[in-house]
Amino acid sequence: MHASASQILDATFMALADPTRRAILARLAQGEASVAELAEPFEISQPAISRHLKILERAELISVGRDGQRRPRRIEARSLAAASAWLERYREVWEASFQRLDALLAELQQETKPKKAKKRR
């Protein structure tokens, strides 16, 4: 059974909501790694890391390879690209908000500038 684009997007954002999973993805962006290598920097059990990895796999953010007995994880760009594309649609909205904020700040700065007194001769 294949997940719909909406389900993948939901799973992606749910997976990215957790700081441990984001840290795992950051590590995998440097190259593939085993579960033990991924668990090393965390003070949580290897089974807990495995649960995080399962969530990342379901979101299709990582995949599992085979290298003899070793089953390295690697990052998969497709789901991240889909999330980025979804966010990109809203970039115009937030950029317009920032432009309005910049204009308001400039206006407020003009209002609060001390007026220069005219010199008398």
Residue 115 dihedral angles phi and psi, to the nearest 5°: -80, 140
Contact criterion met (CB below 8 Å) for 28 and 48: no
Tell me the per-residue pLDDT of 7-64, one tens digit each, with 9 for 90 and over. Answer: 888 999 999 999 999 999 999 999 999 999 999 999 998 899 999 999 999 999 999 9
Contact criterion met (CB below 8 Å) for 34 and 43: no
Tell me the CATH number for domain 5-111. Answer: 1.10.10.10
Contact criterion met (CB below 8 Å) for 43 and 12: no
The domain segmentation of the chain, as residue ranges, is 5-111
Tell me the per-residue pLDDT of 49-68, one tens digit each, with 9 for 90 and over. Answer: 999 999 999 999 999 988 77
pLDDT of residue 121: 59
Measured on CA atoms in the order 65, 14, 12, 42, is the torsion positive or negative?
A: negative
Q: Which residues of 31-53 are buried (b: 16+ CB within 10 A; e: fewer)?
A: ebbebeebbeeeeeeeeebeebb
> Which residues, at least 6 apart from 49, have a Cβ–Cβ distance to it below 8 Å?
20, 24, 35, 38, 39, 42
Global pTM reads: 0.72
